[in-house]
């Protein structure tokens, strides 16, 4: 295949590397113009005014559940199907690249953009994000893996530096990106606005070139987040291929001038031009295929996936599912004005919108359904009157279904929340309702995590809808009445108090720096390490049936660990279980959380008494930790505890597996400590005459444990005290 950039001039190559306008690239020579639009949970194609903040209108498109909801299904096949549908809609609207998925880690529940990300856990974010990418790209539409990297807060996002140590950077924050690049091969990656340890992502050669391309093997185009480029020349030098949106001819001229002045290599410009041309080549078959989108079908899929995304947090006395014919009081403004997506660049203009109240009425059978708003989302009306009316309505019914949540103006791209409270007196409202109506179900709508302890203390049943997209109303009714047995699981912990969050003291940072002080202890890793009570743990979600775990088997080989377990439906309704695998290394030489999710799988729908043998492969790369001493991944040798169960705090079966490690001994130098030196048999032998008899066995003649007392002393300091044996001179290197 001939290279379409081969005969282009320097000016033409430079112009390929910046947008023509807000959403398109330039047509240059044989390379056509391409259209990129948001994403991720629907196509936001703007035909009139353009913006990246969700302000101006866009063409109608199916609004699937945003990642906060979608992720709760934990089902890669389902997400792949959503990806295909998104790809078909994008293609039918002549969109070449859909700007998603967002796989940043939900480090702190106050992040305003939590709704656009999958999880606090890197394996969940990586596996689900990969399914989304392969789904969209299977239709011939590109994806843009974003926001690369460490964009975990909105506050000051265009300047702030995410200051993070190497181990959490690799194990927590880069893991999902690496997994998706390696396994799903996204056609583009979007570099984020923020700085990473002081260097802007767009100008970060280590990030965009050494890690992304050279280590992970990325072969697509690096696109800037909209307006993330400050210095185009520095960005191209670092590895950026496409500046978006276009900022006019001056930007291209800077690139040309820099090459002529010897400040920027011709190779860098060639690489960027080739990457954009490569993207056009990848997109071409999709452009030529006659792809259509059946919007009715997509609405049905949106309903299916929304129902699968709902998490049953609590269901005391089996209050749910409701029986048709029950007299219901539906309370809460969200029942008639649903909150179903987040604000900002991902805001989709839905093709239609299911109203929960209507959908409940449609499934309620002969039962009366009354309604009271209970509160307003804009401060209008008299709060006391609204509340009294709602309490009375609830008291008069057999069951109250109360819709609570966050309003659209309380969380969005562009700013973070100050707290995780449920606003507008909704907590007082639900407490008052629970007083008069013990049979109360709460249905939640929100992007970021909420403080739910008062709700959990007040009512017997809670459904967490997060954000469910345009068909959420029907999906909520399906779960309430049992047409769908819930199988969603939390992808984020619900803490008792925001102050318990591991990141609490370091969010959202100050003076344009965020110190990631909690290190690897993000989300459940941190709550578990400090043995904190939580309201609902990571991975939690109930069902209308019960499952038993048995016949666990673990084995390891050079590819990783295989875990098998049999799941049996021991209840009375058909249902689906999400099986989670957690690993623990109790004798690790590095600090580790008590347990870490390493794999998961969703069962098929199991009829009562039916079983399924579920097999989960944990990749060896997921067992490794980032060894800061070597600047590389290391698998520790020995026993690992494997726990399998229904949540991070509900492990049903455990076993132990032996893994062959690949630890490299760290060479002993004059900077090594006495304890490190004595752990190396050769060096210990050379030091035999240095220490009093018995010292290295735990006590000298006086019973002093010299190694314990002096173990942290470096050998070069011992030498200065005249305590180092000459034999060490031959054995040790200096460093
Ligand atoms: C967001 C991106 C989005 C882009 C284009 C930016 O503000 O951070 O996620 O894709 O705008 O709308």
106 contacts 119 by C-beta, under 8 angstroms: yes
pLDDT for 399-428, tens place per residue?
Answer: 999 999 999 999 999 999 999 999 999 999
Give yes or no for residue 80 CB within 6 A of ligand 1.
no
Does the C-beta of 67 come closer than 6 Å to ligand 1? Answer: no
pLDDT at 704: 60
Closest CA to 63 of 32, 45, 40, 79: 40
pLDDT of residue 418: 97
- Residue 99 Cβ < 6 Å to ligand 1: yes
Q: Would you state the pLDDT for residue 667?
A: 87
Ligand 1 mutation target, pool 53, 99, 342, most atoms within 8 A of CB: 99
Q: Does residue 36 have its Cβ closer than 6 Å to ligand 1? A: no
Closest ligand 1 atom, CA of 151?
8
Mean pLDDT score of the chain, rounded to an integer? 95
* Half-sphere exposure at residue 590, Cβ-oriented, CA atoms within 13 angstroms: 18
Q: Ligand 1: does its nearest atom lie under 6 Å from the Cβ of 347?
A: no
Query: What is the predicted pLDDT for the residue at 708?
Result: 80
**Rounded alpha-carbon distances, angstroms, from residue 215 to 219, 503, 669, 673:** 11, 29, 29, 33
Residue whose CA lies nearest to ligand 1 atom number 3: 345
Instruction: Answer yes or no: is the C-beta of 143 below 6 A from any ligand 1 atom.
Output: no
Q: What is the pLDDT of residue 702?
A: 54
pLDDT at 198: 98
Please state whether the peptide bond connecting residue 508 to the residue before it is cis, i.e. omega within 30 degrees of 0. yes
Residue nearest to atom 11 of ligand 1 (CA): 52
Ligand 1 contact via 52 beta carbon (within 6 Å)? yes
**Bridge pairing between strands 349-350 and 369-372:** unpaired
pLDDT surpasses 80 at 461: yes
The predicted pLDDT at position 463 comes to 98
Task: Count CB-CB contacts under 10 A for residue 204.
Answer: 26
Residue 192 CA, ligand 1 centroid: distance in Å: 9
Whole-prediction pTM = 0.96
Atom of ligand 1 nearest to the CA of 144: 10
For range 133-138, the mean pLDDT:
98
pLDDT tops 60 at residue 133: yes
Q: Ligand 1 atom closest to Cα of 192?
A: 8
Token code pair at residue 243: 């500046």
Residues 204-217: pLDDT tens digits? 999 999 999 999 99
State the Cα–Cα distance between residues 723 and 719, nearest whole angstrom: 5
pLDDT the model gives residue 703: 56
Distance 26 CA to ligand 1 centre (A): 19
Q: Is 345 in the pocket of ligand 1 (CB under 6 A)?
A: yes
Residue 701 above 70 pLDDT? no
In this predicted structure, the answer to whether residue 139 has a pLDDT above a threshold of 70 is yes
* Atom of ligand 1 minimally distant from the CA of 44: 12
Catalytic residue among 108, 156, 225, 416: 225
> Is 225 noted as a catalytic residue in this protein?
yes
Q: Take atom 5 of ligand 1 and give the residue whose Cα is closest.
A: 52
Residues 103, 129 contacting (CB under 8 angstroms): yes
Query: Quick check: helix, strand or coil at residue 220?
Result: coil
The structure tokens listed for 62 are 């199916």
Sheet holding 513-515, edge to edge: 199-200, 195-196, 161-163, 513-515
Dihedral sign computed on CA atoms, order 228, 234, 236, 238: negative
Check residue 735 and give its pLDDT. Answer: 54
Tens of pLDDT, residue by residue over 716-725, are 998 888 877 7
CB atoms within 10 A of CB 51: 12
Contacts of 312 (CB under 8 A, 6+ apart): 320, 461, 462, 463, 464, 479, 486, 488, 541, 542, 543, 544
Q: Which of 138-152, 176-190, 236-250, 674-688 has the lowest mean pLDDT?
A: 674-688
Average pLDDT estimate for 596-624: 98
Q: Which atom of ligand 1 is nearest to the CA of 414?
A: 7
Domains and CATH numbers, the chain: 10-47+66-287 (3.20.20.300), 304-511+524-532 (3.40.50.1700), 547-659 (2.60.40.10), 674-734 (no CATH)
pLDDT of 697 over the 80 cut: no
pLDDT for the residue 312: 98
10-27 pLDDT, tens per residue? 999 999 999 999 999 999
Average pLDDT over residues 487-493: 98
CA 253 to centroid of ligand 1, rounded, Å:
25
Encode pLDDT of 256-309 as tens digits: 999 999 999 999 999 999 999 999 999 999 999 989 999 999 999 999 999 999
Residue position matching structure tokens 């969209």: 136
Ligand 1 and 652: CB distance under 6 A: no
Residue 720: per-residue pLDDT: 87
């Amino acid at each position: 295949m001939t290279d379409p950039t081969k005969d282009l001039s320097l000016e033409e190559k430079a112009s390929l590397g910046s947008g023509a306008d807000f959403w398109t690239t330039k047509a240059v020579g044989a390379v056509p113009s391409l259209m990129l639009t948001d994403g991720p949970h629907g196509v936001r194609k703007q035909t009139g005014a353009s913006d990246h903040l969700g302000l101006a209108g866009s063409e109608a498109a199916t609004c699937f559940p945003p990642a906060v909801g979608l992720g709760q299904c934990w089902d890669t096949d389902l997400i792949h199907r959503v990806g295909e549908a998104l790809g078909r809609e994008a293609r039918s609207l002549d969109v070449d690249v859909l700007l998603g998925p967002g796989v940043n880690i939900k480090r702190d529940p106050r992040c305003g953009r939590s709704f656009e990300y999958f999880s606090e856990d890197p394996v969940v974010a990586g596996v689900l994000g990969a399914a989304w990418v392969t789904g969209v790209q299977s239709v011939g539409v590109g994806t843009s893996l974003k926001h690369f990297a460490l964009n975990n807060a909105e506050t000051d996002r265009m300047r702030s530096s995410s200051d993070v140590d190497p181990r959490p950077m690799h194990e927590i924050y880069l893991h999902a990106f690496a997994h998706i690049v390696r396994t799903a091969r996204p056609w583009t990656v979007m570099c984020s606005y923020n700085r990473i340890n002081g260097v802007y992502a767009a100008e970060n050669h280590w990030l965009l070139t050494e890690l992304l391309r050279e280590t992970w093997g990325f072969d697509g185009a690096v696109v800037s987040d909209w307006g993330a480029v400050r210095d185009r020349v520095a960005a191209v030098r670092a590895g950026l291929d496409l500046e978006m949106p276009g900022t006019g001819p001056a930007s291209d001229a800077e690139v040309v001038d820099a090459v002529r002045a010897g400040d920027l290599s011709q190779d860098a410009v060639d690489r960027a031009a080739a990457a954009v041309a490569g993207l056009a080549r990848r997109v071409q078959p999709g452009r030529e295929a006659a792809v259509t989108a059946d919007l009715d079908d997509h609405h049905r899929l949106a309903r299916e996936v929304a129902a699968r995304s709902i998490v049953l947090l609590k269901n005391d006395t089996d209050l749910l599912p409701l029986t048709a014919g029950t007299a219901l009081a539906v309370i809460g403004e969200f029942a008639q004005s649903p909150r179903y997506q987040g604000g900002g660049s991902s805001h989709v203009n839905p093709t239609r919108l299911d109203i929960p109240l209507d959908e409940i009425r449609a499934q309620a059978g002969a039962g009366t359904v009354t309604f009271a708003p209970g509160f307003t989302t804009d401060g209008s009306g008299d709060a006391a009157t609204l509340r009294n009316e709602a309490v009375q309505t609830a008291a008069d019914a057999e069951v109250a279904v109360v819709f609570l949540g966050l309003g659209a103006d309380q969380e969005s791209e562009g700013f973070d929340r100050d707290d995780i409270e449920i606003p507008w007196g909704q907590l007082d409202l639900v407490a008052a309702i629970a007083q008069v109506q013990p049979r109360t179900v709460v249905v939640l709508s929100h992007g970021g995590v909420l403080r739910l302890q008062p709700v959990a203390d007040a009512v017997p049943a809670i459904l967490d809808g997060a954000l469910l997209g345009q068909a959420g109303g029907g999906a909520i009714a399906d779960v309430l009445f049992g047409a769908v047995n819930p199988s969603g699981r939390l992808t984020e912990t619900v803490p008792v108090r925001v102050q318990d969050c591991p990141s609490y003291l370091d969010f959202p940072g100050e003076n344009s720096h965020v110190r990631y002080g909690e290190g690897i202890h993000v989300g459940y890793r941190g709550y578990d390490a400090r043995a904190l009570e939580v309201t609902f743990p990571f991975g939690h979600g109930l069902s209308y049936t019960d499952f038993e775990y048995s016949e666990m088997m673990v084995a390891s080989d050079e590819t990783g660990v295989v875990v098998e377990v049999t799941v049996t439906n021991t209840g009375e309704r058909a249902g689906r279980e999400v099986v989670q695998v957690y690993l623990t290394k109790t004798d690790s030489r590095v600090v580790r959380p008590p347990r870490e999710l390493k794999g998961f799988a969703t069962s098929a729908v199991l009829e009562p008494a039916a079983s399924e043998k579920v097999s989960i492969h944990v990749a060896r790369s997921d067992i490794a930790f980032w060894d800061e001493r070597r600047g590389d991944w290391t698998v520790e040798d020995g026993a690992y505890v494997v726990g399998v169960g229904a949540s991070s705090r509900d492990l049903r079966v455990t076993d132990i597996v032996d893994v062959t490690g690949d630890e490299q001994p760290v060479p002993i130098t004059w900077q090594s400590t006495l304890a490190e030196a004595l752990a190396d048999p050769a060096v210990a032998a050379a030091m035999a005459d240095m220490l009093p008899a018995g010292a290295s066995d735990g006590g000298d003649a006086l019973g002093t444990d010299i190694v314990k007392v002096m173990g942290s002393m470096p050998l070069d300091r011992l030498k200065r005290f005249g305590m180092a044996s000459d034999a060490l001179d031959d054995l040790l290197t200096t460093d």
